[in-house]
Structure 1
Amino acid sequence: MAVQLRLLGYTVQIDEAVVYGSSLSNFMREVATADRVLMIVDENYVDRADNLPGSGVAIENRWIREAVDQKPESWLSVLFVDNAQCRLPAWMADKRPKGFDFNSRPDLGQFPGIEQLDDLWRWIEGLPADKAHALPPAVLRERAARIERIDVVGDPANYANPTLRGRVTFQYGDHLHYTVGHGEYQFNVAFSEHSGDSVYMYSDKGLKAVGLIPNTSLDTFAFETFLRPARAVTPAVGQKVVLMNQIGALCVMTIEAVQPEINDASHTPAAVTFAYEILVGR
C-alpha cells in the first residue's frame, strides 16, 4: 500500500519502517502532523487496541485519540483487512471515520484492487465520492511514467561528451542540442533534417559563428577564415564544419553519416554521426 501511494507522489510514513526496539514516539509525532492518517485495521489490531494497553497498537491509538479532536473530520480513516465485520477499536465507536473495505472474499472471488485504491486516492485528495469527473490512479501513474520517460530522454547526460575529441551518433529529434567539450572549450550544436545525406547545423544554441570548410582545405590555421555569423550551414556526409563558441575557441566537426527519419511499421529516428576535435590552444 505504501509503495502504491509513493508511486502516486505522496510522502508516506509507516510504522513498519520504525527500527525494531525503537521508541514509537518520534513516529507518532509525525503522525500527529500528517495531512492524512490511515489505520490498517484487522481483527488482531482491534483486540490489541482494546485489551493490551502496553502494546504498540494501544500506544499509537492513544496518540491518535489525543490528536483527532483537533483535526478535520477527513484527517483519519480506516482500512479494513481480514476484518469481515469491519470492527473498530472501542474508542472509535462514536467517531464514525470513513472506512475502506479491503477484505478479501475468496469464496466469492472478491479481492481488493484498483477500485479500492481509487477510493483511497480520492479521500487523500479530498475529492467527492461522485466519480463523474474522476481520474483514476492508474491513469495518473501512466502519465507520471510518460513524463519520466521524456525527462530521461531529455537528461543532459544523454547528449553531452566532455572530452576534447570523439565520435558521436546523435538522435537529434529527441534533444535540443548536443554538447561537446567543457568549460571554455564547450560547444552546443543543434541539427535538423535537410536531405538524405545532409543536415542543417545551427549556431543559435550558444555558438558565435559556424562555417563550412571546403574539402580542399587541410590547413587548420585557415579554418577560422570560413566562419560566418550565419544561423545555419548544411554540411553533407564527408564535409567538415568549423565552430566558434562565445569566447572564441574553435572546434572542427566532420559529418560521417546521416540517417533521415523513417516512419513506418518500424520507426527509425533521425540521427547524425559526426567526429569532432576541439582545437586546444587556438
Structure 2
Amino acid sequence: MNLTDILYEKTNGTAKITMNRPKSLNAFRGETVQELIRCFRDAWDDNEIGVVVLTGAGDRAFCVGGDIKQRESGGYGGNGGLTGGMGLEMETLHYVIRNIPKPVIAAVNGYAVGGGHVLQVLCDLTIASDRAILGQKGPSVGSYDAGFGSAYLARIVGEKKAREIWYLCLQYSAEEALQMGLINKVVPHEQLQEEVDKWCELILQKSPTALKMLKASFNADSANIEGISQLAFGSLSMFYKSEEALEGKNAFVEKRPVDFSRFRK
C-alpha cells in the first residue's frame, strides 16, 4: 500500500494506524483522510486482524484536526466525499471507524483537539498519555462538527459538558478527560504503548463474533446521528465559503486575535 501521510503495520492480530505528519502536529489534509480510510478498510477486510489502534507520530500530538493552513474558501480542495465541496472525506472516515466490526483503540499521545479530538471520541476505547491535552477548536477558527463530534460526544460526557467543550473551546488535561468519562485510562507517557498492547492482547483473547455484535449493538443506539452528520457536513461545506468562516481561518494563519464581532450585527 503506497502511503505518504500514514504509517500502517499489522502485527499478531493488531493493525496500527499512525497519522504521520508530526511537523504539522498530525493535522490532516485530504490525502491523510483518504489514506486513513484505506487503512481502516484494509483492516476491516483482513480476517487476521482483531483490533485496530489509531495514534499519531511523535511525542507532541495525536491529531489537531484539519490543517487550517491548507484550508481555502470552500474547504480543503480535493474530493469532498458524500457531501462534496469540503475537500475532506470526513463522513466516510467517521463511518469506517464506527462500523469496522472490530474494536478501535485511540492511543492519545499528545494534543487531540478539533477534528483530531472527534476521531478519539469515535474510537471504541481511548488510552491517553498523562501529557495528553483534549478539546474542541471549531468555533474559534470558523468551523464545527454538528454530527458525531457533538451529538455523540453528548452521549459520552452529558449535554452540559459537551456544550461547555464546544462553546468555550477549552483544553482539558488527560486526568480531567478521565474524570468526565471522555477517555478510558491515563498512563505515564512512556508507558502508553505498553498499556495499549496489553489492551489489544485482552481483546484478541475474546470471541471476534461476540465483539462484532456488541459493537453493532452499541452503535445501533446512536445510529440516527449519521443522518444528522450528513446534514452537518453539507452545511459546513457551504459555511466555509462565508466571510465569517474565513475570518477564523485567516486569523489563525496570520497569528492574530480572531474578531467575529461584526457577524453579530
Q: What TM-score do you get using the length of structure 1 for normalisation?
A: 0.28
Bigger relative contact order, structure 1 or 2, given CA contacts below 8 A and separation 6+? 2
TM-score (norm 2): 0.29
Structure 1 or 2, whichever has the larger Rg, is: 1
